[in-house]
A and B are shown apart, each in its own frame.
Chain A
Amino acid sequence: MNSTNESATAQAPRRRTIDIVNRGLKRRYRAERRFRFYGLAAIVLSLAFLALLFVSIVAKGYSAFWQTHIRLAVFFDPEAIRQDTLVNADYAALVRESLLKKFPQAEGRQDRRQLAALVSSGAVYQLRDMVLKDPELIGKTVEAWLPADDDVDMLIKGHFRRDLPESERRVSDKQIAWIERLEAEGRLERKFNTVFLSAGDSREPELAGIWGAVSGSFFTLVITLSLSFPIGVAAAVYLEEFAKKNRWTDLIEVNINNLAAVPSIVFGLLGLAVFLNFFGLPRSAPLVGGLVLTLMTLPTIIIASRSALKSVPPSIREAALGVGASKMQMVVHHVLPLALPGMLTGTIIGMARALGESAPLLMIGMVAFIVDIPKGVSDPATVLPVQIYLWSDSPERAFVERTSAAIMVLLAFLVVMNAGAILLRKKFERRW
């Protein structure tokens, strides 16, 4: 543009317009550069947000996959454990005794309590399981790695500052001295946190795990998938292949588009009023969660399935009808198999959305504190995002890292699902 302007200047007698243009050019180019910069800045800013989100969560959460353990010489006192009470014996006393043996200078009730607080209350179950597995242990002294209390864990991981005045931290000076001695003797070690991946919820951070929530999510998604996929595909097939264009199908279409944009919490209200109060289905059950999420994901699946059906060229349909197939045969034998990859992709994306959804599940009571791992679709359960919500409300510092770790697990599931959807699309996508 510029060069044509200049050549025009050379010939034309009228110089006024071009003067105006030239005078403005600098400013206009500056505006151009500024505008371009804004655009780039917007992209950089949104990517920076994304990076910040991931970095802050990983930085907070990665340490939760390790848990501090304390090695103690535990004497399985035959006095404390009698054969008839193996299950109910006072294992806490064993832990206390072995700690006292280690630190005989701890005297007075306060000191002893602080000493006992170094070890997690979950150590009791670990010792019990050891004895139940091998009753021969009774009467022997065994070196055992016991989980440390969450406060000790936080201190070791550096989340508590040791230089604060004693009144401002959760770990007292004495406890720090003990911990430092244990550290010096190599009796403190960070081990891979299997509890976090295998246990249900707990009030004690070091005993809390995500397995209960993961199973709850699994059962909920099984219900959602087994209802929403067939129903969604059927609805899409009807609307795309069979339905005539009339008022009724228009109404259905408007409804589907609107439902896709209705806030998810409204589906929760529906679930509460209809499934729980009207039909009397159990509270907190994955069954009801699955039903609610089915209604929520149906529009997504229907819309995706319809576009998959639309992308199958009409020539396929005409060929099938031409050799004498009925309309249903044409759809079932020819169109559906060709549209299936697209439908599956849409379904996986819908399932990923359902997996991350928590608001409607709060309404139907899936926020209860549930320790047991659900065994079926009618057991009380919670789901992974709701577990994250519950933990994020907990005051203990150790739950912050566990919340972040649970988020990492959730995001990992979502990445896998979305990658699966992309792979599926890449592998089966056909351009006609």
Chain B
Amino acid sequence: MTTREAIVARGVPLPVPTRDNAPFWEGTRRGELLLQRCAACGRFRHYPRPTCPACLAREHRWERASGRGTVWTWTIVRGPTLPAFEAKVPYNVVDVLLDEGVHFVSEVLDCPPEAIVAGMPVEAVFVPASEAITLVKFRRRAPRGG
């Protein structure tokens, strides 16, 4: 097998749950977007970490987030990318500012590249990628309600 063939055979790289983030991935399998929330000051955080960046408290809960947010920034991948993603070029990658105040990197499904604008309202959808991993993707939504 050539190096190139070996790369192609690897497919889409998927996360492996760790002790720090396992509740997140258990949540997505149930169709829930869970975020760590500081038990002391109430601040949400993502990526998962042992302490609150605002008050350093270690105590936290995993709380179900609204799944709603707006596009903070994005790119349209057109050029070289991992072989596993070449068939879907051009595709978007977005940074969503969730209503809970944290950023989440993902993709807006069913959205042509030219439709993406900063501040575009989106909501989470759950897309199984393997037995263990369900990814959080987003869809466009109406600004209020919907």
B and A form one assembly: no
